[in-house]
Amino acid sequence: MDSFEELAVVRAEALAALEETENIAALRDWEKAYLGRKGKVTLQIRAIGKLPPAQRPAFGKEVNQVKQELAVLYAEAEKSLKRAEIARRLAASAVDVTLPGRPAISGHLHLTTQTLRQIYAIFAQLGFEVYESPDVELESYNFDLLNIPAYHPARDMWDTFWVDDKRLLRTHTSPGQIRVMRERTPEPIRVILPGKCYRYEQITARSEHQFYQVEGLAVGRQVSMTDLIGTMHQFAELFYGEGRQIRVRSSYFPFTEPSIEVDTDCILCGGEGCPICKYTGWLEIAGAGMVHPVVLENGGYNPDEWSGFAFGMGVERPSMMKYGVEDIRLFYGNDLRFLRQF
């Protein structure tokens, strides 16, 4: 075999071997085997010197052509193997757009907000609008103007968070009565005053230091106790269920005269007696009364011409009764396991 034939064999072998390479690593080995420092084609080039001088130019030209040819094929093979590799990796990490998505968790209204909105809707039917008043209140609005002067023993009914000498966190929603009266006088009024109240009190299963109240106020030329009782009865039926009975007990609040407490027959036992109603058959739903003449006057209404009724009720308490929640602290404890139930 002369050197030309040998070169043809090497070339044929190299072309066949290149067909077999399936990945980059095998391609690198192929390059080493033929074009590397000790590769078969390289050795052919080195052997030129051993040929008879007359053969050298022709063989040299031939072997260089083979080397060029293989180098070009190598570069092409490398390119296509790399492309295949990228395609493989993309296929492995591909996103399957046909898979069903994970549903987003949607929140819902807090139980207190739900109850408040229910109460708003009921009183809206009865012709009451919502009137909001501030959480930080003047001492005079929270107490003095509601007929609770500094020396009055009734001040002890409300333990207070003071902001400074004159301002406090409202202990009840009643200061809104003065605000709305001063704003609306001399027009008739029918509003509910919802909001958070704050009391410096021991936190227990039955009392929180902050809680919601809804207060109601109706002022007109001939508003009477009968209107108040009728309103309370309607509310009891709309909120606690049809056919509810109410009863009225006499009570005391500094800003109403006379004052009453309103009970409904127990929503759980219907009056038979159960732990919720403490076996009395009745549940207290509101404190109420006819607006005290002093309060009417402080609001800018002449008590000789005007009269009014007012009532106040909790918001957490009715939810507790309705859903059998035994601990008021659960409402604002931020435990989602509790909140998600409603």
Interacting residues toward Zn ion by CB under 5 A: 266, 268-269, 274, 276-277
Consecutive H or E run containing 198: strand 189-198
Compare residues 56 and 278 and give the one whose CB is closer to Zn ion. 278
Burial 244-275 (b: 16+ CB within 10 A, else e): bebebeeeebbbbeebbbbbbbbbeeeeeeee
Compare residues 159 and 272 and give the one whose CB is closer to Zn ion. 272
In the complex, minimum distance from the CB of residue 272 to Zn ion, in angstroms, rounded to a whole number: 7
In the Cβ-directed half-sphere of 239, how many Cα atoms lie within 13 Å? 32
83 Cβ contact list (under 8 Å, min separation 6): none
Compare residues 181 and 283 and give the one whose CB is closer to Zn ion. 283
Compare residues 268 and 294 and give the one whose CB is closer to Zn ion. 268
In the complex, minimum distance from the CB of residue 279 to Zn ion, in angstroms, rounded to a whole number: 7
d(CA 181, CA 171): 19
Task: Give the torsion sign (CA, 285, 290, 292, 298).
Answer: positive
Counted residue by residue, the chain has a size of 342
d(CA 70, CA 57): 20
Q: Which of 198, 221, 263, 219 is nearest to 131 (CA)?
A: 219
Q: Which amino acid is at 144?
A: D
Q: How buried is 313 (Cβ within 10 angstroms: 0-12 exposed, 13-18 middle, 19+ buried)? A: buried
Compare residues 273 and 300 and give the one whose CB is closer to Zn ion. 273
In the complex, minimum distance from the CB of residue 205 to Zn ion, in angstroms, rounded to a whole number: 18
In the complex, minimum distance from the CB of residue 322 to Zn ion, in angstroms, rounded to a whole number: 13
d(CA 219, CA 208): 31
Q: Which amino acid is at 270?
A: G
In the complex, minimum distance from the CB of residue 239 to Zn ion, in angstroms, rounded to a whole number: 17
Compare residues 168 and 246 and give the one whose CB is closer to Zn ion. 246
In the complex, minimum distance from the CB of residue 256 to Zn ion, in angstroms, rounded to a whole number: 28
In the complex, minimum distance from the CB of residue 333 to Zn ion, in angstroms, rounded to a whole number: 26
| Rg of the chain over all Cα atoms, to the nearest angstrom | 45
Q: Please report which residue ranges of 93-224 form alpha helices under DSSP H.
A: 111-125, 139-142, 175-184
CA-based end-to-end distance of the chain: 95
In the complex, minimum distance from the CB of residue 275 to Zn ion, in angstroms, rounded to a whole number: 7
SS3 338: helix
Angle at which helix 3-20 crosses helix 56-92, to 10 degrees, equals: 0
Compare residues 22 and 272 and give the one whose CB is closer to Zn ion. 272
In the complex, minimum distance from the CB of residue 284 to Zn ion, in angstroms, rounded to a whole number: 12
Which residue number has the CB closest to Zn ion? 266
Q: How far is CA 304 from CA 204, 217, 269, 307, in A?
A: 44, 18, 44, 8
Compare residues 197 and 266 and give the one whose CB is closer to Zn ion. 266
Compare residues 29 and 326 and give the one whose CB is closer to Zn ion. 326
